[in-house]
């Protein structure tokens, strides 16, 4: 499944971007802190259900998928799931592994484009 970024939704402190599947459904939502001088804090939510009656397949239920931060030098800390389940991430087969890799790269690419003092020479 190939994911692609939708539009940016901004409020005063956070920015959200949606990752859509080919079928047009929002599959993940990336939420980042707006203060991105030297690092980008993020939370990614996996959408579990959508409002079929709303145009654009509006998500109605999601759960925390991964959270963490990426710094200007490319170093990062990533936490999977929530503490109650021991920070585990359940992946079912190769398709989920590929999807997970796409989500993680979307987060990194967003950080590279968003962090004001991102140093490509050091980070990559």
* Residue 118, CA atoms < 13 Å, CB-side half-sphere: 18
Q: What is the pLDDT along the chain (124 residues), one digit of tens a residue?
A: 444 444 454 444 567 878 777 677 788 888 888 668 899 999 999 888 888 777 667 788 888 889 999 999 999 998 886 655 566 777 889 988 888 899 999 999 989 988 999 999 999 8
- Which segments within 52-118 are labelled E, that is strand? 58-71, 76-80
- At 119 the pLDDT is 92
The candidate with the shortest Cα–Cα distance to 28, out of 54, 79, 67, 55, is 67
- At 14 the pLDDT is 67
* Residue 81, CA atoms < 13 Å, CB-side half-sphere: 9
Range of the domain at 55: 4-123
How many domains, in total, are found in the chain?
A: 1
**pTM score of the predicted model:** 0.78
- At 41 the pLDDT is 92
CA atoms of 46 and 104, how far apart (whole Å): 13
CB atoms within 10 A of CB 40: 28
């Amino acid at each position: 499944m190939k994911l692609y970024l939708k539009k940016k939704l901004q409020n005063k402190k956070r920015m959200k971007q949606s990752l859509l599947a080919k079928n047009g459904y929002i599959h993940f939502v990336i939420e980042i802190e707006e203060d991105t001088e030297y690092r980008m804090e993020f939370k990614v939510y996996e959408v579990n259900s959508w409002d079929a009656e709303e145009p654009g397949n509006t998500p109605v239920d999601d759960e925390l998928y991964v959270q963490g931060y990426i710094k200007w030098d490319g170093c990062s800390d990533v936490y999977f799931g929530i503490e109650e389940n021991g920070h585990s991430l359940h992946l079912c087969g190769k398709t989920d592994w590929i999807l997970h890799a796409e989500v993680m790269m979307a987060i990194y690419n967003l950080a590279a484009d968003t962090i004001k003092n991102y140093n490509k020479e050091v980070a990559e």
